[in-house]
Structure 1
């Protein structure tokens, strides 16, 4: 009996050595606004850099941040990039995700748009109007901040919760009075014409961009995250090099028009990535507190509880 047990044990050991080690997956969630990530995807940069570490890279595109973080919480996405509001809603809902890094603030990359011939001239004129935006997105917070600035209550408007593509369709057929949106949808709408910028985020919100991860993935794979961040920061040098050339190259990768990318680059010249910077927790706490005070998230949260340090 002992001999048989020894043989089985030896066989198991040999099989373990014979089977190839399973590759670690890095599932990246990105949006069209994630210029730096989309660029790395098109070039295959991360695949080349992470292959020697036994990491397999997979990409998943989302229209907005909230569904991206839902997929992350479900375990389908390892890391991803969103605006300021999606992680607040996710944390309040109990998602086990963490902030791992950030890009420079870009308040002018989002805007509240109205039809070119609209009678709406000031933020105060939004009273009683129907405003389209994606619930739980950075556009949601820009709308809230704009109303606060105009001394209007959230109940003074009718929010129309739509995805970016649905919101554009509603805006173009006149079903809503205004549309709060971010790049590249903002730039694409400007290029199409017939719109006027009522306000950008300047003076209203920092419009911070965050990189997030499953908490367990971040804890287990800090080296992978470091490779990703270094690749993104190195790629930012290329994004800054020649706006027209970069826009044309990106257009070839993605199919979006080069003029859209030129507008994005002019509004936000830096897409460099860093680990979380001092003071960003206070900015993000302001976003969370605003949503809680309006009853838009179910509980008060301390955003710093979801901050990860490598």
Structure 2
């Protein structure tokens, strides 16, 4: 099972008040660095073409620093980036973070170059002045919403979502769960002000929820599957049909502008790995289960409702992302209105970094 006693070894980085504006909480910067096991599950279709590319492209960086979350990262586990980039003389360094807001904070202070997060963390980061850009989106599948939910402990007197009015609701502020709870409350005629919010990362909240000290928890896999299957947690509502544009790969503007050829290779490998994963979900579970210390049957559930492939950045996608930002502003969670267009590259720059495998879906 997923051990509640696992400690994340912190690396000290200087604290930065990423969210100094009213209503924002300081976000922790807990992270660990991990190495990646190599796995030959995803190879280039034309090795000769790869060799040719190795001799012709110009790279300005020799170290790629990638952030991922405590929920794990298949790209790290399979080692596909290391395999592709090593011949180019590029080393890959991984850093783990509790959730998306902590990852974005580290990016803001220059600790990582790129990372993958939900739809919400980039909005809060941009509002705080971070120089970030959207690199690619994550495709949403029919089962994606099953991996996030509003849950209550076994035996809770709360029976429906409407019953959480006046309750303490725990989630990480500035994460995808923040957007999810607002939209879910709308569906049952409640307002964000109808609940008492306590911000806490999933890695900290899990134990408290299991002990019964958290009445309502907004969380996602692997934590959700764990408490469902091992502790009888009840789901009041999952994120199916919640209307999210999905997650993203995000990077610093400086890195994106200086490394278009490298980014194209990175996104191509991530999407190829995702294509393999969606066709081999049971194999993915076997790879991830020992890394996260989760029993294989539970990990199979997690992998069965995960989404792994990427999609290109389009005007339609950014319009949906702007709607998310506007919602936070209308709820007075963001103190100022932001324009997501300011976190975009030019069409020419996107053409340079976007592989043809990334379909342009909304």
Pairing partner for 1:137 from 167, 172, 175: 175
Q: Contact 1:149/1:204 (CA < 8 Å) preserved in 2?
A: no
Alpha-carbon distance between aligned partners in 2 of 1:22 and 1:211, rounded to the nearest angstrom = 20
Which of 271-280 and 133-142 deviates more? 271-280
Q: Contact 2:149/2:218 (CA < 8 Å) preserved in 1?
A: yes
Q: 1:55: how far off?
A: 1.6
- State whether structure 2 residue 113 is matched by structure 1 residue 89: no
Which residue of the partner structure matches residue 193 of structure 1?
A: 231
Pairing partner for 1:45 from 63, 66, 80: 80
Alpha-carbon distance between aligned partners in 1 of 2:110 and 2:151, rounded to the nearest angstrom = 35
Q: 1:254: how far off?
A: 4.2
Q: Could you list the per-position Cα deviations for residues 148-184 of structure 1 after superposition, in whole angstroms to 9, with x for gaps in the alignment? A: 2222122211001101022222222332211000111
Which residue of the partner structure matches residue 287 of structure 1?
A: 324
Higher-Rg member (1/2)? 1
Which residue of the partner structure matches residue 340 of structure 2?
A: 303
Q: Contact 2:152/2:233 (CA < 8 Å) preserved in 1?
A: yes
Alpha-carbon distance between aligned partners in 1 of 2:330 and 2:122, rounded to the nearest angstrom = 17
Q: CA 1:121–1:287 in 2, change beyond 3 Å: closer, same or farther?
A: same
Which of 287-296 and 90-99 deviates more? 287-296
Q: 1:253: how far off?
A: 4.1
Which of 88-97 and 171-180 deviates more? 171-180
Q: How many equivalent pairs are there? A: 286
| SS of alignment partner, residue 90 of structure 1 | helix
Gaps of 5+ in 2: 1-58, 353-362
Which segments of structure 1 move beyond 4 Å, counting only runs of 4 or more?
none
Q: CA 1:43–1:176 in 2, change beyond 3 Å: closer, same or farther?
A: closer
Q: Could you list the per-position Cα deviations for residues 82-134 of structure 1 after superposition, in whole angstroms to 9, with x for gaps in the alignment? A: 00110110011110001110111232221000123222222211101111000
1:46-125 alignment runs, 5 A limit: 46-105=81-140, 106-125=144-163
Alpha-carbon distance between aligned partners in 1 of 2:207 and 2:76, rounded to the nearest angstrom = 29
Gaps of 5+ in 1: 1-20
Which of 255-264 and 143-152 deviates more? 255-264
Q: 1:238: how far off?
A: 2.5
1:160-309 alignment runs, 5 A limit: 160-206=198-244, 208-268=246-306, 270-308=307-345, 309=350
Q: 1:298: how far off?
A: 2.2
Alpha-carbon distance between aligned partners in 1 of 2:204 and 2:293, rounded to the nearest angstrom = 20
Q: 1:202: how far off?
A: 1.3
Alpha-carbon distance between aligned partners in 2 of 1:115 and 1:193, rounded to the nearest angstrom = 8
Alpha-carbon distance between aligned partners in 1 of 2:287 and 2:203, rounded to the nearest angstrom = 24
RMSD: 1.9
Q: CA 1:205–1:182 in 2, change beyond 3 Å: closer, same or farther?
A: farther
TM-score by length of 2: 0.74
Which of 141-150 and 248-257 deviates more? 248-257
Q: 1:240: how far off?
A: 2.4
Alpha-carbon distance between aligned partners in 1 of 2:185 and 2:224, rounded to the nearest angstrom = 20
Which of 194-203 and 113-122 deviates more? 113-122
TM-score by length of 1: 0.86
Alpha-carbon distance between aligned partners in 2 of 1:208 and 1:56, rounded to the nearest angstrom = 29
More helix by share: 1
Alpha-carbon distance between aligned partners in 2 of 1:121 and 1:253, rounded to the nearest angstrom = 35
